[in-house]
Amino acid sequence: MARTPAGTPHDPRGAERFNEERAAYTVSSAKPDLEAGVAAIREVVKTLKPVPGVYRMLDARGEALYVGKARSLKARVANYTQIKALTNRLQRMVSQTRSMEIVTTNSEAEALLLEAQLIKRYRPPFNVLLRDDKSFPFILLRADHAFPRIQKHRGARRAKGDYYGPFASAGSVNTTINALQKLFLLRSCNDTFFKNRDRPCLLYQIKRCSAPCVGRISTDGYASLVREAKDFLGGKSGQVQQDLEKQMAQAAQDLDFETAAILRDRLRAATFIQGSQAINASGVGDADVFALANRNGQIGIQSFFIRGGQNWGHRAIFPSHTREIEDAQVLADVILQFYEEVPPPPTVLVDRVLPETELIEAALSELAGRKVQLSVPQRGDRRKLMQQAARNAVEALERRLAERGTQAKLNRELAEFLELDGPPDRIEVYDNSHIQGDKAVGAMVVAGPEGFIKNQYRKFNIRQAQSNDDFGMMREVMRRRFRKLAEDSDGEGEAAVEADTHETIWPDLVLIDGGKGQMSSVRDTLAEMGIDRVPLVAIAKGPDHGREGREVFHFPDGREKTLPTNSPLLFHLQRLRDEVHRYVIGAHRAKRSRAITASPLDEIPGIGPARKRALLLHFGTAGKVRAAALEDLQRAPGVSDAVARKVYDFYHAGG
C-alpha cells in the first residue's frame, strides 16, 4: 500500500455504522472546511501517477469517508479539487477529508473489484452500501465420500464437492433439499452418524434416503442417483423426469409394483420442485436478474436467481446512501458488492444500461474465472422475466415504504408516551438471565427506525455481582456499557466522537426489563458515572406478572404509566422486550451448555485439547489425573515431561 504525506494508514474497527443514512450527511468530529479538504487532496495529487488504482478519503479521525476507483489516479483524484464542478454531496465529503490512502492495481478491472471489497469492509458513509450483508445459502453435494452427502452450506466453499445456488433464504434451501431427498434418496447425515449405523434410520422408513449406511443400495446404484441429482440441479430436470417415467412404466410392465410405487413418489417430488418455481425461467439457463424501482428517492432492487432454468428464489435489496446518485450507478455499485459474496453466473440480466458496462463485465469475468455478460433483455422470455422482476421491485419497495411509515408513526407515539424529545433513532433494551445466580449473563439488544440492529447486540458475562442480586447485575451491565462514554465525556454529557461502536454511541432510549428496583439501580448507577442525558424507562409485566397486556412503565422520578391492552404501541414495546428475552436466554443456555461439557483440565494454563485428550484417554477421568503421581503423568502416551510437570504443579502447588 502506498502511503501519502497527508496521512497514515488506518486500521478500521469493522463494526457497521449505526444509522448509515444519517451518517452520510453529518459532519465528522472536526469542523467541515472545504479549503482544508482541498489542500489535503492537493498534497496527495502531487505524489500520484496516471495509473489505475483505488483511493480512500479519510476524515480527521482516520475513518473512511469514501472509496473510489480510477483508471488514472492522478486525474481522478485531481477532480475533487475542482469544487464548482462537484455536487453538494461530494462537496460535503471533500470538506470532511483530511487525508487519503492510495492502492495501485494492475488494471482498472482489478481496481473495480478492490473497490467493492473495501466498500464492504469499511462501509464508508458516502458510498452506496448494501444493507443486507448476510451470506446466501447453497446446496452442497459432497465429493469426499463413497456415498456423497447432500446438505445446506453457508460461508467459504472449502469442502470438496459441487455447489448449487445461491438460494434466497435458508427456508428455500430446506424445502428444496427435502424434495431432493424424496426424489434422489441421497443421505443428509454427517459422516460420524453414517459410520456408526447398524440399521436404517427414520429417513429410510419415510422414503427419503436409500440407506447406503447399511448396504441397502450398492455403490454403483448410489452413484447413479448422484449423477441424476447433478443433472437435475444442473438444468436437465426434464430429462431426469422422462427417465423416471420410463423406469416407472417398465416396472409396472414387469409387475414390479413396489418399485413402480417408489418411482411414482420420486416423480411426484420432481413435479413438486418444478411446480414450486412460481417464476417461468425456462430457456434462461444460469442467470441472475436485477430490476430497480425508485419512489421519491427511495430505491429497491429485486433480484431473481435462475440456475438451470429453475428459479432458486428472489430477494429484495434496499441499498443505503443513494441520494444524489443516478439509479444506473446505484445498480452497478450494488451488483459489484453483491458478487463479492456470491459467484457470478454467466449472464446477469439488468433492466437498464449500466455505466462502464464493459469494465463491469471484465471485473466479473475475472472474479468468476470465465466470461460473464451483462444484458438488458429486449424481447422474448427474458423480457417477460425482467418485467416480472420490475413489478416485484415496485411491490417490495411499496411494502417497505408502508412498513417504514407505520414504524415512523409508532416511534412518534413512543416519543410522546415516554416523554422523549423526539422519535428515537437508537433504542437499547437490557435484561439479565441466571439460575439462582449461576451462569449469570446480561444482554443488550438494539432497535432503530427500521427494526433490530443485530450486529450491535452485546452479551455481558456477569463477573462481580453476587448470586441472586438482579439489581447488582444490572448495575454491572450499565457500568460496562457506559464506561467508555463516561470516560470520554467533556463534563456536559457530550462524549468525544469516535468510531461508531456500541461503546461510543449514545442511545436515545434505554428500556429495562424490570420494575422499580431495576429502574432505581440503573438510574443511580448512571448518576454515579455522571451521566444524566440518557432517557430511562423500565417495563414490568404488571400485577401477578400476567400476560394480559397490563405492562407498567416505570420512570426515573417514580411515576408509572400504562397503555391500553389493544394498543399497537404496547405490542411494539412488548416485541422489544421479547427480543431481549430471546437473546439473553439463548446466551444463558449457551453458557450452561459450555459449562456442562467443560472439563477441570480446561483450567490448566498452556495445556491444549490434544494433551487433555491424551490425559483423559490414559487415566479415564479428570479426578484420576489430579491424583496421579508425577511419574504416572510422565508415562502417559503423548505427554512430555514438561507437560506432566505443568499438570502436576497445577494440582500440587501448595502441597
pLDDT at 509: 92
584, 432 Cβ separation under 8 angstroms? yes
Confidence bin at 22 (pLDDT 50/70/90): very low
Q: Say if residue 260 is in the same domain as residue 175.
A: yes
pLDDT at 5: 34
Q: Say if residue 441 is in the same domain as residue 525.
A: yes
Q: Give the separation between CA 273 and CA 179, rounded to whole angstroms.
A: 7
The whole domain housing 391 covers 287-399
Residue 20 pLDDT greater than 50, yes or no: no
Which of 46-55, 275-284, 436-445 has the highest mean predicted lDDT (pLDDT)? 46-55
Q: Say if residue 154 is in the same domain as residue 116.
A: no
Residue 471 pLDDT greater than 60, yes or no: yes
CA dihedral (350, 352, 353, 356) in degrees, to 10, reads -60
Residue 628 pLDDT greater than 60, yes or no: yes
pLDDT tens per residue across span 239-261: 666 776 777 777 777 776 766 77
- The residue from 595, 612, 633 where one domain ends is 595
pLDDT tens per residue across span 121-172: 888 999 998 865 567 788 888 888 889 888 888 877 788 888 887 877 777 7
pLDDT tens per residue across span 378-436: 888 888 889 989 998 999 898 888 877 788 888 888 888 988 888 898 999 998 876 65
For residue 299, give the CATH number of its domain: 3.30.420.340
pLDDT tens per residue across span 92-122: 999 999 999 999 999 999 999 999 989 988 8
pLDDT tens per residue across span 540-596: 886 655 455 678 899 998 888 888 888 888 888 988 988 988 888 887 677 666 555
Residue 450 pLDDT greater than 80, yes or no: no
Is 416 part of any domain?
Answer: no
pLDDT at 542: 66
Is 412 part of any domain?
Answer: no
For residue 613, give the CATH number of its domain: 1.10.150.20
Is 414 part of any domain?
Answer: no
Q: Say if residue 557 is in the same domain as residue 438.
A: yes
The rounded percent of the chain whose pLDDT value lies above 90 is 22
Residue 349 pLDDT greater than 80, yes or no: yes
Distance from the Cα of residue 139 to its chain's centroid: 19
Taking the CB of residue 510, how many other CB atoms lie within 10 A of it? 23
220-229, 471-480, 593-602: which range is least confident on average?
593-602
Is 417 part of any domain?
Answer: no
583, 457 Cβ separation under 8 angstroms? yes
Q: Say if residue 588 is in the same domain as residue 621.
A: no
Q: Which three cell numbers stand for residue 236?
A: 436437465
List beta partners, residue 512.
Answer: 430, 538
pLDDT at 270: 60
Is 420 part of any domain?
Answer: no
Is 8 part of any domain?
Answer: no
Q: Give the separation between CA 408 and CA 413, rounded to whole angstroms.
A: 9
Is 5 part of any domain?
Answer: no
pLDDT tens per residue across span 502-537: 566 889 999 998 888 889 999 999 988 888 888 999
Q: Say if residue 315 is in the same domain as residue 363.
A: yes
Q: Give the separation between CA 571 and CA 580, rounded to whole angstroms.
A: 15
Confidence bin at 470 (pLDDT 50/70/90): confident
Q: Say if residue 433 is in the same domain as residue 577.
A: yes
Query: Number of folded domains in the chain?
Result: 5
Residue 641 pLDDT greater than 60, yes or no: yes
Q: Say if residue 388 is in the same domain as residue 453.
A: no
pLDDT at 599: 63
16: which DSSP letter?
P
Residue 275 pLDDT greater than 60, yes or no: no
